[in-house]
A = this chain, B = another copy of it.
Amino acid sequence: MSLFGASPARPGAFAPEFAASAPGIGPAANIETTSLAPLLTPRSVAIVGASGTPGKIGAIPVAMLREYGFPGAVFPVNPKAEEISGYRAVPDIAAIPEPVDLAIVAIPAAGVLHALEACAARGTRAAVVFSSGFAEIGADGLAAQAAMADLARRTGMRILGPNTLGIANIDAGLVASFCPFFRPRFPTGGAIGLVSQSGAFGGYVANLAQDRGLSFSCWITTGNEVDVDVADGIAYLAEDPRTRVILVYMEGARSGPRLIAALEQARAAGKPVIALKVGRTAIGAEAAASHTASLAGSDAVYDAVLAQYGAYRARSVAEWFELGYAYAVGRSPKNKTIGLITVSGGVGVMMADEAVSGGLDPAPLGPEAQDRIRAIVPFAGTRNPVDVTGQMIGDLGRFAEMVEVVLAEHDYGSIVCFNAGAGHTDESGLRIQKVWQQVRDRHPDVYIAISGAVTPAVRRAYEACGCLVFTEPDSAVRTAAIMARLSTSPDLRAPPPAMAQLPLPDTVLDERGALRLLGMAGLPVPEARAAADPEAAVQAAREIGFPVVVKILSPDILHKTDMGGVALDLHSEQAVRDAAARILAAGRAHAPDARIEGCLVAPMIDTRDGVETILGVQVDPIFGPIVMFGLGGILVELLQDVALRRAPFGPAEAIDMIRQIRGAALLDGVRGRPPADLEALAQALSDLSRFAAAHADRIESLDINPFLVRPRGAGAIALDAVLTLRAGDPS
């Protein structure tokens, strides 16, 4: 058992036997949280392996229950002790005089399963298992975890861990943890809910909170997750009335649908979820054959899913924690305008930079307000940022007047003020704080942040009235920008109707089959004909009408262009005949073992008459069917400028997805090009997502490349597609 619950990895959490049996695609039901009450608000606690030796893993939680004034019954289980931390000890689990809500298990791994069985038999409703030495040590540990998971399912006893640093519910006086950072005592009334898969990281965050004078509503570390997982923690905190923000640290979700359900619960409750997900650069081990697979590595899917379901994925530990601080202590901006006040012109520019690049609007003051500012301080900067100049220090009345001019002018969602060194003593700082106290009284909902030198007493005074204090001025603005984005982003979800199952063959589909299937799914596809040999190709071209394109038809050749398998813009029968012969020969030379079924003949569509895009589907093992969108051509590979979204989704969400790529403006028409038919593209993406959701169990990967989006009103069309299927379910 390790002191910090750290382990080399958390294999048990992601091992197949614990994963959902198939990637879910439908909306998961809400995660029920009443069964978590015995874990997080127990009426009584037993400590199995309790110890009286200070510093021991079995001693710390007993001492903590005492120090935090846990109001319920506490039963240390220890055959050799009379009393521990003032609680009367019992010799074994069977001797606990009443069924307890929560058992803390702090014994070596070998005895854990037996102890848990005994607890369940004694009517215990939840258990926290500190013990390590399970999945992280290999097959034996995995088997023990499987037995533990089975016990939880069988008895209904909720199990947290093993290999967890435990939980805390400060207001309830419950610290079921051996983390050293619960001393000194955290104050009650904390608004940050933490869920961390890593105990070591959870402990580190507790230490950060101590340093910053912050407290938690609940602090939850989930460890190896045989039963209670990160989704349970999020769902519980979503419903916990004291929690204002949910900080999540995760390495991976055990079940995608459960994580999504929890995120939905948090969104419905209006609780921001700020996620720190590690594994950004692990793009996946195998070089996948299709575009989609190589672009939509699973971390990219996490990235997309977190955003799609309203969570924010922090880019650094500092940003993650700043957001926790800002939501817990401050106010969330209700719009994207920001008023900037500064004693330094240059720092005003810096804050404006940060505002604009974060998507905030530093809306300028009107001419009358600017005149009023000038009337107060002649050489002030008046537009926004308002530069009150160093003069402010000498005359706080004038400073207060200027601040009120700013706040009266616009309904600014955020106000950030850079003080530099003004107010660096308790006395001067508290005088300036009084100004903001009055602003707060009149404007209870505005995000207010101060940056500059403050003493601890001044900081506490600001925070007591919901004003944030940041060391760095740019960080104060950046935090406002992220919060404003989260609070103003509309909920676009409008689940589209489910699609009926289409008949899928058992094998890989060639281009023609793939396009035909997509046509049945409602996507726009060209008429195209198969031809076994050059003469049949000529006949097909005659029927379709010139000009045509001819492509090799083979389920085994994915990148046709690379091997000379495509001929474009053929205007005559002879050209078609020659091209078909050349292509078939090239195919045989390139891939002697490939099944070559002939050629495909299709109308030549001028790709200059529109924007080439790429649409794709990949089925993620955790989150199920994911749709990809990007600009076509080689630039999609070069810049990886793609957007992902979990299927299914409606056209409004598809528009949002299209707007996420950096090159989206290309579709609006630039340099004389007409705007593209966004509606047709969005409809196709939505239909593709319905197709993907209906056939998630069969799709291995699907690429539509290019998907040509024509000028507005002229629609769009899929010009090529590769669909790889999994074997169908034999049942």
Contacts and interface: CB of A to CB of B under 8 A. Distances in A.
Interface stretch (A2-10, A38-46, A620-628): A2-10
A639 B670 CA distance: 12
A414 B715 CA distance: 55
Interface string A372-387: 0000001111000001
Interface in A83-127: none
Interface residues of A, number: 85
A701 interface: no
A7 B379 contact: yes
A204 B390 CA distance: 13
Tell me how many chains of this kind the complex includes. Answer: 2
A29 interface: no
A356 B180 CA distance: 33
A208 to B, nearest CB: 7
A188 interface: no
B420 A4 contact: yes
Contact of A391 (B2, B316, B350, B352): B2
A10 B345 contact: yes
A30 interface: no
A379 B672 contact: no
Interface of A: 2-10, 132, 136-137, 179-181, 197-201, 203-204, 207-208, 249, 251, 276, 278-282, 316-318, 343-347, 349-350, 352-353, 356-357, 378-381, 387, 389-391, 393-394, 420-422, 424, 452-453, 471-475, 478, 559, 561-562, 634-635, 637-639, 641, 662-663, 665-666, 670-673
A345 B353 CA distance: 37
30 contacts: A3-B394, A4-B344, A4-B393, A5-B390, A6-B343, A6-B345, A6-B387, A6-B420, A7-B345, A8-B381, A180-B424, A198-B347, A200-B346, A201-B347, A204-B421, A207-B453, A251-B346, A251-B349, A278-B350, A280-B357, A281-B353, A281-B356, A281-B357, A316-B478, A317-B350, A559-B671, A637-B671, A638-B663, A639-B641, A639-B662
7 closest cross-chain pairs (CB), A and B: A2-B390, A200-B344, A200-B420, A8-B381, A317-B472, A4-B390, A6-B390
Contacts of A356: 281
Nearest to A299: B353
A670 B378 CA distance: 61
Nearest to A671: B634
B380 A200 contact: no
A688 to B, nearest CB: 23
Nearest to A316: B474
